[in-house]
Structure 1
């Protein structure tokens, strides 16, 4: 299903105009959408949260709802979390592992790019999930994690653009993202 906020939209568009939680609930309860296995939502935070609530009210498991935000919400200032420490980052990308030492409070993505890796990324704000990877060792602090579900966070997924090391050694697998 695709929704366009303005105008009639392209041919074949299911819905035009502003999508409200009530309108989405009508669509979900109608024919054709009852047997969806996984939901991929893209839009502003308020809309994706409202749609997620409608889906969860209908028994859709949180791990079956994936979100990408148009814009990451502005974070409250100064939640620096645990102390960031210099670390040896071992990052696996395209089957090769590269070691680089982080500098200052740079993110794992920034360290990877500085090392010359073609690490995946897009928004650098924690909203899109393009830079996601699996943390296989060490600890990090995520400044934002809008693109990850609580279940994904519990499994060790991180956003390299938001992850800063809090242990002297960090192992990141970008091939799993």
Structure 2
């Protein structure tokens, strides 16, 4: 596995070693020991999640707060997404900075997103299977987020506005300014 520090402190791009032959391919999607040795992060994942989406779907920007904050190890099993993270940690040197990365079922890259980050993704292919590990359990009362099309963040989701599919819940998330002033 190759681990690269992203521009945001504590957020890593992980490239697994893929073995291919005439039958297909194999790769180790997670190895606790290798992860800890390559990132310096001692973590225990307790929940795996999967979503299926269609082209144009934008999910996010989501996070959990307080004791229920979650770190995530994200990958795409099928399709292509633009994965977006925003550092929401006030004491971080990369506070309110964002990073986008394309994850595909072909490149098998993963993104480690630390606690305190907002996260979202846009589906850039016809069908997407999106999978991720969390180091803390989902807790509805700790759920929060930032509006996906916030003017301050000005994220280019790489999907024309008329083709964007966004849930009502995500359309009603607060702007960054509103969230920070609440």
Bucket of the pairwise TM-score, normalised by the shorter protein: under 0.3
Structure 2 length-normalised TM: 0.26
From the two aligned structures, give the one with the greater helix fraction. 1
What's the TM-score once normalised by structure 1's chain length? 0.27
Which is higher, the Rg of structure 1 or of structure 2? 1
- Which one scores higher on RCO, CA 8 angstroms, separation ≥ 6? 2
